[in-house]
Amino acid sequence: MRIEAIEAIPIRVPLSRTFGGSVYAMSTRCTVVTRLQLADGTRAEVYNGDNRHHGTEVANLAAEVLAPLVIGEDVRDWRRLHQRMWDLVPGAAMAPKHLLEAIACLDTAIWDANGRLSGVPVAQLLGGAATSLPIVSIGGYYEEGKTLGDLGAEMQMLQARHMGGCKVKVGGLSAEADAERVAACREAAGPDFMLAVDANRAWDRREAIRFARLVEPLDIAWFEEPCHWFDDVGAMADVRAATTIPINAGQSEISPHGVRRLVDAGAVDVVNFDASEAGGISAWLDAAALCRLADVHMTHHEEPQIALHLLASTPNAVCVECFADPERDPVWDRLDLDAPRPLDGRLALSDRPGFGMRLDEEMIERYRI
């Protein structure tokens, strides 16, 4: 079935307040909407990525550089089309991340189109290993005046929103101070609530190890990106050897080859490779296969509208993650009019074909850049 047209639309939604991690602060929620039209009238429509400042560049690459490579081609030849776009990557030395994000936009739309053509969800096209997964929220942000009591109240709010757990931000304070914050979360949430911690590469290996040993008794699901980016692999391998907490990384990799580097170094127990940042669904499948053979578990960085289908396709998946607070992610809360919603700590696939999205046209027009 021939591809006739492609459109990529960057959007930016201002947030009501600033959300702070250890090394960054967020005041907007950005993404790219991609539409793909087939000759028979089928229209794919997806949004993906959390591009913070360069959504326009990504959309321009998708529409102007990549679209001519796939328009006129059969959408069912997904591997060939992905390789045609990927062949540009070696020459993109100045901006490879933007190009890989643009490839992800088109590749995701191609998979959505194939699901719509077949009348089945993408998860089923990819193997259908599960029909629902546990869901956790990203939270525990640093905010001015936020107390330990506020952290506890946040955990209870997430439980009321049917979350099965929370990934708590750490790394912005000392190991001892952040361990106290995580302990407050565990006390408020109880023993059956999944707690993970995410340092966003904030600590050196010594501080990361000290923190890990302090929170080990709190039943931590994983410790994500504990160490500075410039020596992450070696440092994470050291942290992994020093703690019983599983180590998670991969969201900062821009290709499946980076995932192989993490696995080969013995640096990870869990990989949260992001299809929207690193070349799309087709690239994610390569990383997931590598991890499954190496007995490494899979999560996915944010993007539950995409991640649910990917993780439901592989038996080594752990859970989906989201921003349960609509003030942190108004896009997931409002853009997809038919989005599945969590219930009792899990997110279930709908039976809608493709990724099952029906996007709010008024919201797109209001916030398009």
Q: What is the CATH number of the domain that holds 308?
A: 3.20.20.120
Q: Are 318 and 306 in contact (CB under 8 A)?
A: no
Percent of the chain with pLDDT over 70: 99
Kindly report, residue by residue over 85-126, the tens digit of the pLDDT.
999 998 876 668 999 999 999 999 999 999 999 999 999 999
In this prediction, residues 341-356 reach a mean pLDDT of 97
**Are 86 and 149 found together in one domain?**
no
Q: Record the pTM.
A: 0.95
Q: Does residue 233 sit in the same domain as residue 319?
A: yes
pLDDT reported for residue 346: 98
- pLDDT of 53: 82
Calpha distance 272→231 (Å, rounded) = 18
Same domain, 133 and 38: no
- Output the pLDDT for position 310: 98
Give tens-digit pLDDT for 181-214.
999 999 999 999 999 999 999 999 999 999 999 9
**Residue 94: per-residue pLDDT:** 65
Region 227-241 average pLDDT? 96
Range of the domain at 233: 124-348
- 97: domain CATH number? 3.30.390.10
- Residue 115 is predicted with a pLDDT of 98
- Are 30 and 136 members of one domain? no
Return left, alpha or beta for 266; rule: phi > 0 is left, psi -120 to 50 is alpha, else beta.
left
Position 354 in a domain: no
Q: Same domain, yes or no, for 178 and 282?
A: yes
Could you tell me if 311 and 274 lie in one domain? yes
The per-residue pLDDT for range 256-310, each reduced to its tens digit, is 999 999 999 999 999 999 999 999 999 999 999 999 999 999 999 999 999 999 9
Q: What is the mean pLDDT of residues 151-174?
A: 98
Q: Tell me, yes or no, whether 223 and 331 share the same domain.
A: yes
Q: Do both 253 and 139 map to the same domain?
A: yes
Q: Are residues 164 and 292 part of one domain?
A: yes
In a domain, 294, yes or no: yes
- Cα radius of gyration rounded to whole Å, the chain: 20
* In a domain? residue 353: no
* Structural element, H or E, at residue 305: helix 304-311
| Domain count for the chain | 2
